[in-house]
Structure 1
């Protein structure tokens, strides 16, 4: 009887742990991780390069290392449909620093922690999507899937992962 109770408790703990984590999250050995995503830009979606709100949609990538500086050159970000952005210029993240990868056009800035995709189309789906971050070698650095109904409790269009 005690053995059956212990097994039942163990299964309940495993089930609880499995449901507490988004199903498609993969934990890689990487200091660079997807911190969060503003998948739904405030206001009505408008992807005009002049006057639109594409730049209000962004992905936050953070260097969680306590000691290493990471150059983003060569890192690749993709969504489930294969839309992608590759960091082609040097952009250094100091330990615990972050960058916001924004849609639209603008001036990239280490000081202001921003890189623009130079593309005015929205990349992240408002209904849910998957995000993949790849190292320059092609190895996975981080990935997450989101669904607003599951992951955005306050409905503000922003989801935090790490």
Structure 2
């Protein structure tokens, strides 16, 4: 009788663990189901922070988004980037990334360029916090394409203000 009780408890524990793993899998799978992923972020622009549009360094703060697909072209139009406090940027123009291609979403004002792989937020305020933040990346459908959190002390080992997420 005692042996069956132990087996029943073990079976229950295994089943509970299996249910927890299955329940966690869809959220994890959804996060990485997109061809587009966050490659890395220059969250702390080099130099003294200044969000002055003319002389500041917000253009040196950027998020790199890469197409990790081996065959699909992906248009960024409608994709949304947000931070933990709700600051957001929506890609409103067509900008197609071929397999292996990337774009740097920069702060500040400038001219978007497919040739130079750059899109500007047209906003001179910094988006990413210098100590910690979470970056959310959403598909045009509203489903999550990717998400990453960073901390200056835990994620930026060399202290250069850049954190890589996907190779």
TM-score, with normalisation over the residues of structure 2? 0.81
Quick one: which of 84, 90, 93 aligns to 1:86?
A: 90
Deviation of residue 28 (structure 1)? 2.2
Match of 1:19 in 2: none
Alignment of 1:150 onto 2:117: no
- Rg larger for: 2
1:149 aligned counterpart, secondary structure: helix
2:104 aligned partner: 100
* Among 52, 61, 72, the residue aligned to 2:76: 72
| C-alpha distance in structure 1 between counterparts of 2:111 and 2:33, whole Å | 31
Q: Distance in 2 between matches of 1:73 and 1:82?
A: 20
Please, what is the CA RMSD of the aligned residues?
A: 1.1
Mapped to 1, the partners of 2:158 and 2:150 lie a distance apart of 14
Hey, what's the Cα distance between the residues in 2 that align with 1:110 and 1:56? 18
Paired positions, count: 138
Among 40, 43, 46, the residue aligned to 2:47 = 43
Structure 1: state its 5+ residue gaps: 1-24
Following superposition of structure 1 onto structure 2, how do residues 1-162 of structure 1 map, counting pairs within 5 Å? 27-162=31-166
Unaligned regions of 5+ residues in structure 2, if any? 1-27
Question: Which structure: greater helix fraction?
Answer: 2
Runs ≥4 in structure 1, deviation > 2 angstroms? 25-28
Separation in 2 of the partners of 1:96 and 1:64?
6
* Deviation for aligned residue 1:148: 1.1
Using the size of structure 1 for normalisation, the TM-score is: 0.84
| Matching residue of 2:23 | none
